[in-house]
Amino acid sequence: MMLLFPQRKNSSTRDYIYETLKKNIILLHLKPGQVITENEIAELFCVSRTPVREAFVRLVQEGLLETYPQKGTTVSLIDLERVDEARFMRRTLEKAVLQMACNNFPQELFFELRSNLALQELCIQEKNFIKLFELDEDFHRLIYRGCRKERIWELISQINADFRRIRVLKLSLGIGVGEVVKQHHRIAELIFSKDVTNVDKVIEEHLPQNDPDFENLQKLYSQYFK
């Protein structure tokens, strides 16, 4: 069911609920299509409905929840169109960002990249695919950070919830995990060796226009999809 995390100091109830719900939606603990109500969440967190409402407002804005007035609220279904859009944005932006990274990347972050990759390998061995997902995102965030574009990464992650969710689903089944990490190594190698000539090719492989696995997932888990 739902995972709970300790509330950070100085965070409002609203923010805490928002972050907790969001994490649970992305990690598929709250399933696409699942009905949740302000009342049940308020009871779960032992608070009034107000901060729950306000958290819901944010999650609706991000496309993670869908509210039906007077009827109820559901976790939004994964929409393959949105997944395609997210992939287009990521592919386009990451070609540009990786090119910048190959041209100029702070040495101080090399170690973090390498550490991240080592932990990714470890996650494969330990079959901890949720942790792998988080490291995957940290990997990309590091690259954006090295190019002074970290906020862009945060922004596109925020609007790409469906893409993130389908990737969690895919990873949780262990599909393609080895290949993903290999591609991360290739990306990092381009940065280390300042090789701009292969940027497009590597990104196209990492974020292809079509991913047959996604279509298969839609068939296997049709109740999760729009």
Residues lying near DNA in the complex (CB under 7 A) are found at 12-14, 36-39, 47-51, 53-54, 56, 67-73
Give the whole-angstrom CA distance, residue 91 versus residue 57: 29
71 contact choice in DNA, a second copy, none (CB below 5 to 8 Å, kind-dependent)? DNA
Q: Where do contacts with a second copy occur on this chain (CB under 8 A)?
A: 12, 14, 53-54, 57-58, 61, 69, 81-82, 85, 88-89, 92-93, 96, 149, 151-152, 155, 158-159
Q: Using a CB cutoff of 8 Å and minimum separation of 24, what contacts does 58-61 make?
A: 58/18, 59/18, 59/21, 59/22, 59/25
Kind of pairing between the strands at 65-68 and 35-36: unpaired
- Minimum distance from residue 56 beta carbon to DNA (Å): 7
Cβ distance to a second copy smaller for residue 39 or 92: 92
49 contact choice in DNA, a second copy, none (CB below 5 to 8 Å, kind-dependent)? DNA
93 contact choice in DNA, a second copy, none (CB below 5 to 8 Å, kind-dependent)? a second copy
- Minimum distance from residue 179 beta carbon to a second copy (Å): 25
* CA dihedral sign of residues 128, 133, 136, 137: negative
Give the whole-angstrom CA distance, residue 176 versus residue 73: 33
- Minimum distance from residue 22 beta carbon to DNA (Å): 16
DSSP notation for 15-82: HHHHHHHHHHHHTTSS-TT-EE-HHHHHHHHTS-HHHHHHHHHHHHHTTSEEEETTTEEEEPPB-HHH
Cβ distance to DNA smaller for residue 59 or 80: 59
88 contact choice in DNA, a second copy, none (CB below 5 to 8 Å, kind-dependent)? a second copy
Cβ distance to a second copy smaller for residue 53 or 131: 53
Cβ distance to DNA smaller for residue 27 or 75: 75
- Minimum distance from residue 87 beta carbon to a second copy (Å): 11
Assigned token pair, 123: 């996650």
Whether the Cβ atoms of residue 153 and residue 141 lie closer than 8 Å to each other: yes
